[in-house]
């Protein structure tokens, strides 16, 4: 780590204990405070999982082996354009979160 390092962690209570806070202060770890406890809107992979789940709902499987094979095929077909779209939409997600004042929102 260097002086440009900033830790981004959610506001989950397990990461807000006195011990964790003390350690971070002692080691002078810069962090973004008041980050939402769970913010799937700010995590691109959550949108990928949602897409895969929707595809699975439309294509039910018979057993665990079939599930595994289906997921591998679906994963291999995720387009880079889809990922770029998710990343490009991040500013609007950030704005929606800001407007909701830390609440979960849909847009």
pLDDT by residue (tens digit) across 60-82? Answer: 899 999 999 999 999 999 999 99
What is the per-residue DSSP string for 15-84?
A: GSSHHHHHHHHHTT--B--S--SS-GGG-HHHHHHHHHHHHHHHS--SSHHHHHHHHHHHHHT--HHHHH
Is the alpha carbon torsion for 39, 43, 47, 49 positive or negative? negative
Full-prediction pTM beyond 0.85?
A: no
Rounded percentage of the chain residues whose pLDDT exceeds 70: 74
pLDDT for 45: 87
């Amino acid at each position: 780590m260097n002086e440009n390092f900033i830790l981004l962690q959610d506001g989950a209570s397990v990461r807000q204990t006195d011990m964790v806070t003390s350690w971070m202060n002692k080691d002078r770890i810069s962090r973004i405070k008041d980050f939402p406890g769970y913010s799937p809107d700010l995590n691109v992979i959550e949108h990928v999982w949602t897409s895969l789940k929707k595809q699975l709902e439309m294509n039910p499987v018979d057993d665990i082996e079939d599930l595994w094979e289906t997921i591998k095929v679906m994963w291999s077909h995720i387009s880079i354009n889809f990922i770029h779209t998710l990343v490009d939409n991040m500013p609007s997600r950030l704005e929606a979160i800001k407007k909701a004042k830390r609440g979960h929102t849909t847009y």
